Amino acid sequence: MLVQSVSGAVPRLFFNKVPERKRTKNRVHLDLWAEDVEAEAERLTRLGASRKARVQDWVVMADPEGNEFDILPEE
């Protein structure tokens, strides 16, 4: 399910039901879009996030509590 404003403006939240039960992964995973993925990853690192991995054209990050999220290039 995609949740967004009527105008289509960001932020948008997408909820995807998965068949497996929670084991170690978060049940909510945010994907953030940025004009400059690297600059946004650096900005979030300065605010306390940590970089986990680079995957193709996006970066996997984690907040200070270890919850993972992705930064993707704007479409």
Distance of alpha carbon 47 from alpha carbon 25, whole angstroms: 23
Is 6 a member of any domain? Answer: no
Is 3 a member of any domain? Answer: no
Distance of alpha carbon 64 from alpha carbon 66, whole angstroms: 6
At 5-18, the pLDDT tens digits run 677 666 666 677 77
- Token pair, residue 27, equals 């049940």
Query: How much is the mean pLDDT over the chain?
Result: 83
Is 46 a member of any domain? Answer: yes
At 27-36, the pLDDT tens digits run 677 888 999 9
Tell me the C-alpha to C-alpha distance, in Å, between residue 56 and each of 31, 62, 68: 14, 17, 17
Domain limits for position 53 = 30-75
Categorize the per-residue pLDDT at 50 as very low, low, confident or very high, splitting at 50, 70 and 90: very high
Is 37 a member of any domain? Answer: yes
Is 57 a member of any domain? Answer: yes
Is 38 a member of any domain? Answer: yes
**Total tally of structural domains belonging to the chain:** 1
Looking at residue 50, which CATH number applies to its domain? 3.10.180.10
| Predicted structure pTM score | 0.68
In the sheet that holds 68-73, the strands lie side by side as: 30-34, 68-73, 58-62, 50-55
- 24 vs 40: which has the higher pLDDT: 40
